[in-house]
Structure 1
Amino acid sequence: MSKASNITWHAATVTKADRHSQNGHASCVLWFTGLSGSGKSTIANAVSGELYRQGISEYVLDGDNIRHGLNKDLGFSDYDRTENIRRIGEVAKLFVDSGTIVTTAFISPFRSDRDQVRALFEEGEFIEVFIDCPLEQCEARDPKKLYEKARRGEIKDFTGIDSPYEAPERPEVTIRSDQLSVEEAVQQILQYLQEKNII
């Protein structure tokens, strides 16, 4: 609930439908979720790159990048993780309203947080992309050496080690990143967007 009072929502002159018509495609959020090291950022950026090459309005919101700015005041407690995702959901909604296909790469470990973000969007605009990769595979990759630090106790509340990850129950798209190449993953996601007449 907003703490502010005496505020009024102002309708925009240019609507989301207007932007869709001008762009020649619809807008949505591709919400990438999965364990650290599963390939979320890599695949999200590859999808964004391919959309850009096709002349589609796109943008990537990456978890680490957001924590350098908008969410630099947040840590990794359960409350901070929830607030992190709430803020990103609101930002993603603005991008979708602007007519952009926004890809977000966040662990977003709690199912309830992802469901709250989904509720912000119209039907079909929130596309949950589960980057499904076994913990042992993510830990073997460990590109940032985070699992190694977590195992040594240098990082607390690390998802998959001492903080839970709640996998999606009915994601729109599931990518087995331990079985598919990045290119194959991108094609699977683009095919979904085409089937839903988003692009």
Structure 2
Amino acid sequence: QKPQNPGAPMTRWLFLPCSTRPDGNTLALARAAAAHLPAGAEAHWFDLATPPLPRFADLRARGGHVAPNGRLAELAAATLAADELVLVSPVYWYGLAGPGHEMLDHWSGWLEVPGMEFAGRMRGKRLWLVTVRADPAQGSQAPLEDAMRRSARWMGLRFGGALHGVGDAPGEVLADAEAMARARVFFTTPEA
């Protein structure tokens, strides 16, 4: 996406879809919100599900973690280059979809990589959450939102906010008028 105002400072947004359903509702809601990024925004997308991330192995007891390589090196580079990180996940069992959780596990490993300085380089970035749930009742998204707020705080990130939609069958979220209206202003009205 090209900046709308050439004089505005450039911000790099990294969208991290983690649904295993191709072109699902959460991705549709994230795309709707991304169409209204602030001036000077540059959007990048990194699908965490396709191809799948390598499984995380906690190697602390075996002498520590090594620098990421392959697909993980691409993810690490994209993550560290971003100013704004947007987790795009359906609500699965009141939590983050598996590929998103896998990414967070890798983040914990990168904290241990000598010379990577992952924690220091992440500090001050902003984390956003875009979700869609099948359950129309309010509250089923609350545990996931709380987990991401806590994770952001623990990592030294600011939490930008959470955009929630309702939908089950493909494209259903587009009929969620409240979510679609909020998508238009979501990224221009951060919490922090």
Work out whether the TM-score is over 0.5. Answer: no
Alignment TM-score, normalising by the size of structure 2 = 0.44
Answer 1 or 2: which has greater strand percent. Answer: 2
Question: Which of the two has higher C-alpha Rg?
Answer: 1
Answer 1 or 2: which has greater helix percent. Answer: 1
Higher RCO structure (Cα 8 Å, ≥6 apart): 1
